[in-house]
Amino acid sequence: MAATLNEKGSMYPAFFRMIGQVLTWNALPNGRRASFYDCWSGKTVTPSAYRACQHHALTQVLRLVDEGVLTPQIAGHVPLSEVACAMILAGSRTVLGKVVLIP
């Protein structure tokens, strides 16, 4: 959804596609389930609770990555000295996955 925020027009088509995708995933007989996660919820209302919730959520996600339960999609590794190129690549919507900066 965040990828559509700067596009012209309504974001409802993207939203409904996402709902359809989640419903499809949940209908599959593989036992896996998906849901939405609002990473901005509460940011302006209760900043300290928001930070604590984000810390907890990120800790859980990184634990799952460490355990091999989740596998992040990495589109590429780019040296930190080429951060401008990394930003262009990440914003181009031509790659599947995240662009990782290497110090």
- Token pair in block for residue 74: 């990495």
pLDDT for 12 equals 82
Between CA 30 and CA 5 the distance in angstroms is: 32
Between CA 23 and CA 19 the distance in angstroms is: 6
pLDDT for 4 equals 61
pLDDT for 28 equals 94
Q: What is the DSSP string of 40-103?
A: TTTTTT-HHHHHHHHHHHHHHHHHHHHTTS----EEEEEEGGGHHHHHHHHHTT-SSSEEEEE-
- Which residues touch 73 (CB under 8 Å, ≥6 apart)? 96, 97, 98
Kindly list the domain boundaries of the chain, sorted by start residue: 1-36, 37-70, 72-103
pLDDT for 68 equals 94
- Which residues touch 22 (CB under 8 Å, ≥6 apart)? 34, 35, 36
pLDDT for 5 equals 61
**Could you tell me the mean pLDDT of each successive run of 10 residues in the chain, 103 residues long?**
66 85 92 80 81 91 93 91 91 84 94
